[in-house]
Amino acid sequence: MRRTLIVPGLVAAVLLASCGGGASPDVTRVRDAASVEAGSVLYEANCARCHAADLTGGSYSGGIAPSLNRKTGPSDELLIEIVKRGRGLGMPSFATQLEESEIASIIDYVRSVQASLIDE
Give residue 120's pLDDT band: very low, low, confident or very high (50, 70, 90). Answer: low
Domain boundaries, the chain: 23-116
The DSSP string of 92-117 is: PP-TTTS-HHHHHHHHHHHHHHHHHT
Q: Cα(69)–Cα(116) distance, rounded to whole angstroms?
A: 10
E strands of the chain, at which residues?
A: 58-60, 63-65
- pTM score of the predicted model: 0.77
Summarize pLDDT for 73-90 with one digit per residue, the tens.
Answer: 789 999 999 999 998 878
pLDDT tens column, 3-45: 433 333 333 333 333 444 467 888 888 999 999 999 999 999 9
Among the listed residues 45, 60, 56, the one whose alpha carbon sits nearest the alpha carbon of residue 91: 60
User: Regarding the domain delimited by 23-116, which CATH topology (the fold level of the hierarchy) does it fall under?
Assistant: Cytochrome Bc1 Complex; Chain D, domain 2 (1.10.760)
